[in-house]
Structure 1
Amino acid sequence: MSLLGNIIWFIFGGFIEAVGWWFFGILWYATIIGIPVGKQCFKLAKMQLAPFGKKVVEKESSTIGFIANIIWIIFFGWELAVANLISALIFAVTIIGIPFAKQSLKLAYLSLMPFGKDIK
């Protein structure tokens, strides 16, 4: 099921959104201070490319990660989480879309606070 879901996800927008995340990750990497943000953009691109069969795992939290998450929420996170929640609501309208809604919720969780999380 996860292979079929990833193929459908990839065809209907996952690739385009992942390319966007890669693009912004490269832009953030162009500045020395933006490297941690660029790293999170690549993490989100990896998840956006093929979310089925992957889990978001909490790593050991640190003070720097907590502060980075607060800054991320203020500037990027809440908009991304709301966009993914809206996508989840749209997907959940049909029975066929429910698995895709679950993946959108997983992306909303990761996009809200990506520091201190890993994808397995």
Structure 2
Amino acid sequence: MPPVSIVLNILWILFGGIYMAAGWVIAAVIMAITIIGLPWARAAFNIAAYTLLPFGQKAVRRDSLTGQPDIGTGPLGLVGNVIWFVLAGWWLALGHLITAIVLAVTIIGIPFAWAHLKLAGIALWPIGKVIVPA
């Protein structure tokens, strides 16, 4: 990871990134407890790690990375994303959006606000995404 990404990730954690990562972990634990929510829990844990250290990484669709469709990028993935959106996606996206607005007020917070906006999009539709180095 480049030094700039390391510095940005440290600042990200200090200025609130840890709280949104904790929100993702809470959502993942709740989904895992239900047993039925295990596929969503796995995606939420992966994105929690991404939310903790977003700089130097990006989220891409699995089928565009591998070149082959799979269960998470097909029709079942769409159904899974709709269920995720109803159960947890909207409030995680809302948390990222509110945090982005607060951070965008300051000039220093604009890169972090942009990262929160990207994470808000992922919060709405996480199934079928994979985190890769940027």
Q: TM-score, normalised by structure 1?
A: 0.87
Give structure 2 stretches of 5+ with no counterpart: 64-72
Cα 1:27–1:47, aligned 2, differ >3 Å: closer, same or farther? same
Pick from 96, 103, 119 the counterpart of residue 108 of structure 2: 96
Separation (CA, whole Å) in 2 of partners of 1:97 and 1:15: 15
* C-alpha deviation, 1:16, in angstroms: 4.3
Residue 33 of structure 1 corresponds to which residue in structure 2?
36
Q: CA deviation at 1:96?
A: 0.5
3-state secondary structure, aligned to 2:57: coil
AA aligned opposite 2:118? K
State the match for 2:7 in structure 1. 4
Q: Are residues 105 and 72 of structure 1, via their aligned partners in 2, closer, same or farther at CA, if it must alter by over 3 Å?
A: same
1:58-93 deviations in whole A, cap 9, x for unaligned?
A: 122211100000111112111211221111111111
The SS at the match of 1:5 is helix
Cα distance, 1:103 vs structure 2: 0.9
CA distance in 1: counterparts of 2:45 and 2:58, whole angstroms: 16
Q: Is this contact kept in 2: 1:56–1:106, CA < 8 A?
A: no
- RMSD between aligned residues: 1.7
Q: Determine the C-alpha separation between the residues in 2 that align with 1:22 and 1:75.
A: 14
Aligned length: 120
Give runs of aligned pairs for residues 70-85 of structure 1, distance below 5 A: 70-85=82-97
2:120 is the counterpart of 1:108: yes
Q: SS at 2:60's partner residue?
A: strand
Pair 1:76–1:25, CA change in 2 (3 A):
closer
Q: Counterpart of 2:48?
A: 45
Instruction: Determine the C-alpha separation between the residues in 2 that align with 1:7 and 1:17.
Output: 14
